[in-house]
Amino acid sequence: MANPDKSTIERLRNKAKQSTCKFRISALGFNKSGICVIARSNKQQFSRKGGGFHAERLVMQEARSRGVCRILICRIGKGGAMRPIDPCPQCQSIADKLGIIIDTIPEE
Ligand SMILES: [Zn+2]
């Protein structure tokens, strides 16, 4: 998704605002028809096992049941501005295995 539409950006922004983390990140999952079927924000980790609470990871946990084939992620800064972000290597690796493409928003 090179240029997500306004409603998609708004949905990402609102979802990221629900995050309780210092770095607020959200992820939307889209099916093959391009319909958004799931939205998640990242969650704080309380154990060192870690890795399970990235927004894109939470989406991927339900990817199969919901038919997600593409994920769009973003981070919002202090002033609410949207920032592009890359998935971490672990999430990227899982996405590759699932055949899911992870995209981010363009730089503002
Ligand atoms: Zn990750």
**End-to-end Cα, the chain, rounded Å:** 15
CA of 93 from ligand 1 middle (Å) equals 9
What is the percent of the chain with per-residue pLDDT over 90, rounded to a whole number? Answer: 74
Q: Is the pLDDT of residue 39 over 70?
A: yes
CA of 86 from ligand 1 middle (Å) equals 9
- Specify the DSSP class assigned to residue 37: E
31 and 24 Cβ atoms separated by less than 8 Å: no
What are the extents of the domains in the chain? 6-104
What is the percent of the chain with per-residue pLDDT over 70, rounded to a whole number? Answer: 91
Superfamily of domain 6-104: Cytidine Deaminase, domain 2 (3.40.140.10)
66/106: higher pLDDT: 66
- Residue 107 CA, distance from chain mean position: 16
Lowest mean pLDDT among 6-10, 30-34, 36-40, 77-81: 77-81
Residue 52 is predicted with a pLDDT of 47
Q: What type of residue is 5?
A: D
CA of 84 from ligand 1 middle (Å) equals 14
CA of 92 from ligand 1 middle (Å) equals 7
